[in-house]
Amino acid sequence: MKKNELNFEKKLKRLEEISVLLENEEIDLDKAIELYEEGLALSKECSERLKTAELRINELKKNSLDMNSNLITD
């Protein structure tokens, strides 16, 4: 992972910060659009990371079940 990349938790925290900033009625339109774009990108990255984690967990479960069934049949 590159040094400037944010980890999942930091991305979520940044999304929360963006949400608070966008709720501020005094923010100008250009800044709001910039923050919205950043939020969309972070949201996509977080969703992809969650999907990857879910696939990995499912694979681990499957492997665990396969190992357990092999122990029972042996």
pLDDT of the chain, 74 residues: tens digit per residue: 454 567 999 999 999 999 999 998 899 999 999 999 999 999 999 999 999 999 999 999 988 877 777 666 65
> Can you give the pLDDT at residue 33?
97
Would you state the pLDDT for residue 2? 53
Q: How far is CA 4 from the centre of its chain?
A: 16
Q: What pLDDT is stored for residue 67 in this prediction?
A: 73
pLDDT confidence of residue 19: 96
Tokens of 37: 């774009």
Residue ranges per domain, the chain?
A: 8-73
Is the CB of residue 45 less than 8 Å from the CB of residue 10? no
